[in-house]
Amino acid sequence: MIIGFILFPRLTQLDLTGPYEVFARLPETQVLLLAKTLDPIVTEKGLAILPNSTFDAAPQLDVLCVPGGPGINDCLQDEVLLQFLRQQSQGARYVTSVCTGALILAAAGLLDGYQATTHWLSLDLLRQFGVEVRTERVVQDRNRITGGGVTAGIDFGLTIAAALFDQTTAEAIQLMMEYNPQPPFESGHPSTASNEVIEKVELAAAPYQEERKKIIEGLRK
């Protein structure tokens, strides 16, 4: 089994490392970190990650996974990346994303006719691609599996682990990771967060959200 993550500058590292932790524990599975070159990729918060394969050298993937983050804005218009996704999707068993990685899949035309989810801040942007948007933490529509924002990547990873192998394998990984979340605050989703907290997050995200909106509007013309 070969699972490949797409790397790009300013990705959100937990979108990648959450499901990576799950996939790396699967039996007889190789996990590739794919980028245009083998140069280090610096994430949104400054963590450097080393790719272990270029797009050109990549084998056919069984699972293609695209994380999200502020850096997706450049990816939405990166024809080299989008074409790589299109080519890989033809032979992949599952085409997947975490967080705003769904917008990259949509820009490549890979969510046309599918239901999907993304980070709550970008649900309306996903709708602009004509995608039927859902708000569950993980959404599967045939061989498309999409996760919500950031921490949903762990739930997403376990869902795929069960699909690839079986529920017992996925549950054993969950137990080994001691993934038993008990958050100290009920603010992990806008449905439970206060208006003050929502406004604070929206204000912080406004610059790249506005840029992203303009890019997507341009792509849809």
Tokens of 207: 């610059």
Show Cβ contacts of residue 54 under 8 Å, excluding neighbours closer than 6 positions.
34, 35, 36, 37, 38
DSSP 84-150: HHHHHHTT-SEEEEETTHHHHHHHTTTTTT-EE---GGGHHHHHTTT-EE--SSEEEETTEEEE-ST
Catalytic residues: 99
What whole-number distance in Å separates Cα of residue 146 and Cα of residue 137? 8
What whole-number distance in Å separates Cα of residue 93 and Cα of residue 147? 17
